[in-house]
Amino acid sequence: MKGISKKRMALIIFLIITVVLIAIAVFYQIQESNYQKDADIIRLRHLKYYVGLIEEYKEKTGGYPLQENTIITDYPESFTDEQKNQLKSFPVYVEIANSWQEAEAKSYNDSIPFSHYNGNDQEFFKELERGLNKTINEYYDPQKVSTGRPNFYVYMVNEDGNYYFAVHTHNYHPFAFQLAKNYYKVEATSDSSNNDGQAITANTLLSDQNFNNEINNKLSNEGYFTDLDNSFLNESKMK
């Protein structure tokens, strides 16, 4: 019996390596899919948590966190009276980002194409605790590195006295607005007149059956995400 030729042996080795690489790729895709499914549940739970705090703050104080910063009181010396009259207020933006996500959040804020007050999550949490008169836990997007979408949460309050709070999910949800492939925005707002097709009033979103079904889904790796959440509960106080 003749031995296997070098050419045939090389082909066999090539096929084995190919099969192994395909198996690894499939395994990674399954793991990534499971991770993002869990991560989306966490993101939506966090959204409900923050909306609850923001609405509680409004009940106790009559306004929303950092709303007073929408009114401009300090102008550059070069501003004329006419310019001051034209620009009396602007929205406040806050990116809720942990130490993993700060660079990405700063880049996002720098890209906002209009005048705004650049708030930070330290201000946001401090003001929430002041208005609520209690210590609160902080929760962040579970993803360390961005993969084509923001890996942080965004709070905005405008001069009209309405707020928006957005998280960004990997997967489609009936209540989400698609911005790109594997990039969906779920945004709650107090603005009942909003008709941009992206934001949903907080009451509508939190009472949505699909939303509640999703946040009540069981995680495939509950322990990992619980430990991750617990590691950042006081993140802004450590900055």
SS3 content of the chain, % helix, strand, coil (to 5): 45, 15, 40
Task: Give the pLDDT mean for 154-170.
Answer: 94
Cα angle, residue 211 at apex, residues 208 and 214 outer, rounded to 5°: 150
Question: Phi and psi dihedrals of 47, rounded to 5?
Answer: -60, -45
Q: Are 72 and 87 in contact (CB under 8 A)?
A: yes
The pLDDT-based confidence of 116 (bands split at 50, 70, 90) is confident
Tokens of 108: 């996002």
pLDDT value at 72 more than 60: no
Is the model's pLDDT at 207 over the cut of 50? Answer: yes
Look over the chain and give the mean of its residue pLDDT values, rounded to a whole number. 85
For residue 83, how many C-alpha atoms fall within 13 Å in the half-sphere facing its CB?
7
Helix, strand, or coil (residue 98): coil
Structural contact between residues 70 and 159, judged by C-beta atoms closer than 8 angstroms: yes
Neighbours of 30 (CB within 10 A): 10
Kindly report the pTM of this predicted structure: 0.81
Q: Which of 142, 102, 104 is nearest to 122 (CA)?
A: 102
Both tokens assigned to 178: 């698609």
Check whether 141 has a pLDDT greater than 70: yes
Out of 77-81, 109-113, 205-209, pick the least confident: 77-81
Q: Between vectors from CA 185 to CA 191 and to CA 150, what angle results, nearest 5°?
A: 120
- For residues 173 and 185, the answer to whether their CB atoms sit within 8 Å is no
Mean pLDDT for the stretch of residues 99-128: 87
Round to whole Å and give the CA distance between 91 and 81: 21
Reported as a pLDDT band with limits 50, 70 and 90, residue 138 is: very high
Kindly give, in sequence order, each residue whose CB lies less than 8 Å from that of residue 155, ignoring residues fewer than 6 positions away: 50, 54, 65, 93, 94, 96, 119, 124, 163, 164, 165
Tokens 């066999």 -> residue = 12
Contacts of 225 (CB under 8 A, 6+ apart): 38, 39, 42, 142, 219
